[in-house]
Amino acid sequence: MKFGVLIFPGSNCDHDAYWTIQQVAKQPVTFLWHESHDLEGCDAIVVPGGFAYGDYLRTGAIAKFSPVMESVRAFAEGGGLVLGICNGFQILCESGLLPGALTRNVGLKYICKPVDVRVENADTPFTGACRPGEVLTIPIGHMDGNYFCDEPTLRELQRDHRIVFRYCERDGEITSAANPNGSLDNIAGICSPGRNVLGMMPHPERASEPELGSVEGFRIFASLLGAMAEK
């Protein structure tokens, strides 16, 4: 089971994801350069957080044209597992692998803090180690995390159970007060129709070791390992 972590100019969470996969999950992992088409036989791809291409134009707007994303699109269309974290979620939306867009936080401020998210769908390769309705505490760090889509798309996401995480109170209640960025329907993460592509704003790699204050984010990586083992 081999992971690939993409690197764009401006990526700054690539080494965090690499460390979590190599040192915590104890799995083979390699960096994949943005100018290369070669995914090097990886079984799962992580599109990490950061500021790809300086977030010029829009977050993810330039990264979607990179050679590596052409290969990631083909990989995902073939059923390959792709996890986009924060800026990675933004890139996946810009690339058309996920619907909607991530816009400026409603408060127009960068937010960096732990948040609680409720697992809305535990039947994905990314949440198989979680329970439906379970609340996970995972940090966020973003300026453009306000998820938006049109009404038909939202209804489709709701109908097909493709909303995977929603911002919530510690007891699991979904409230506007628990929504840190104004995201539509408190959405913190969604998946593709085939469930093989996940975009999420919280950073699970920042909550994967006791030294970081939480290990609840590691459930995402543990779920991926379980899904890959089943293949």
Tell me which residue range forms the domain holding 164: 3-230
pTM of the model: 0.96
Catalytic residue among 93, 120, 191, 205: 205
- Which residue type sits at 109? K
Identify the CA nearest to 18 among candidates 51, 42, 35.
Answer: 42
Residue 205 annotated to the active site = yes
- How many angstroms separate the CA atoms of 217 and 160, rounded? 24
- How many angstroms separate the CA atoms of 65 and 70, rounded? 8
Residue 203 annotated to the active site = yes
Task: Provide the domain count of the chain.
Answer: 1
Catalytic residue among 13, 42, 120, 203: 203
Catalytic residue among 13, 34, 42, 86: 86
Identify the CA nearest to 120 among candidates 82, 157, 91.
Answer: 157
> What was the pLDDT predicted at 9?
95
Q: Which residues pair with 189 in a beta bridge?
A: 165, 200
DSSP letter at 85? Answer: E
Going residue by residue through the chain, which has 231 residues, state the pLDDT in tens, using 9 for 90 and above.
899 999 999 999 999 999 999 999 999 999 999 999 999 999 999 999 999 999 888 899 999 999 999 999 999 999 999 999 999 999 999 999 999 999 999 999 999 999 999 999 999 999 999 999 999 999 999 999 999 999 999 999 999 999 999 999 999 999 999 999 999 999 999 999 999 999 999 999 999 999 999 999 999 999 999 999 887
Residue 156 annotated to the active site = no
* CATH code of residue 88: 3.40.50.880
